[in-house]
Structure 1
Amino acid sequence: MEPLPIDALVVVADGEGARVFRNRGERGNVSLHQYDLLELVNMNDDGPAGSMPGESSSRQIDEATFAKQLATGLNSAALKQQYEHLVLVADPTTLGRVRRLLHKEARQRLVAELGKDMTNVPLEGIERTIMAR
């Protein structure tokens, strides 16, 4: 297991939102600093990620749409060279939806994926989980 690089982008997401961090830890330490909070926006402009069964609830459609928006933002940032290393932490459903939509440039920067819902976990718990990855 390699240490988390300094300035790595760490995204902790679920189907409703994401906390975005940068690692400021040195010498292999994880010290996350939150710099953004993402939520579903402009639902009318975006559809869900992938096809949705006809019996999907509005919540399921919202969650799939957020996953699409998150992947689009990560792809755009990768293409603009705004991060070199990426860690995705999300519940398994959201992680699967985002992973399918990641551009090759974003996938190449992916250093770890954790299929856990940690959006409501305190910062120290997220840091411990990432260190133990």
Structure 2
Amino acid sequence: MTSLPLDALVVVADGEGARVFRNRGEQGAVSLHQYDLLELMNMNDDGPARSMPGESTSRQLDEATFAKQLAKSLNEAALKQQYEHLVLVADPTTLGRVRPLLHKEATQRLLAEVGKDLTNVPLENIERAIAGP
């Protein structure tokens, strides 16, 4: 990705949580500012997305449930016009769980997907991964 619009929503997630950023860089520059941190919540009210194999571990169930909650949050924000552009950064498993759950309004705003787990890396590394070479 060579250019990131001002105020684009950047979500950096794994199966356990997500860091949510807005781009504050002018003229396509990447300058991320974190404004939210999402974690798995209300386990009793939610279950995993789709059916899970019977031999799934509790961790796998939690990760699938978080992916469902993340997709729901992104869908609601898109439908409420809370973001115009979205970049989703997540490990391949989480991306694979979130992608099919995204509403078409969220999908239409999706500028890029980065299939890497960057949730616990410094901000500069996330900006570099989004900006590209």
Given the two structures, how large is their TM-score scaled by the length of structure 2?
0.98
The one-letter code of the counterpart of 1:33 is: H
* Contact in 1 for aligned 2:2/2:132 (Cα 8 Å): no
- CA RMSD, 1 decimal: 0.9
Unpaired runs of 5+ residues, structure 2, are none
Residue 59 of structure 1 corresponds to 59
Distance in 2 between residues matched to 1:45 and 1:92, nearest whole Å? 26
Distance in 2 between residues matched to 1:104 and 1:27, nearest whole Å? 27
Give the 3-state SS of the residue equivalent to 1:65 in structure 2.
helix
Say whether 1:5 aligns with 2:8: no
Distance in 1 between residues matched to 2:56 and 2:129, nearest whole Å? 32
Residue 126 of structure 1 corresponds to 126
Following superposition of structure 1 onto structure 2, how do residues 1-133 of structure 1 map, counting pairs within 5 Å? 1-132=1-132
Q: CA deviation at 1:2?
A: 4.5
Given the two structures, how large is their TM-score scaled by the length of structure 1?
0.98
Q: CA deviation at 1:49?
A: 1.2
- Runs (4+) off by over 6 Å: none
Equivalences, count: 133
Distance in 2 between residues matched to 1:38 and 1:22, nearest whole Å? 14
Give the 3-state SS of the residue equivalent to 1:66 in structure 2.
helix
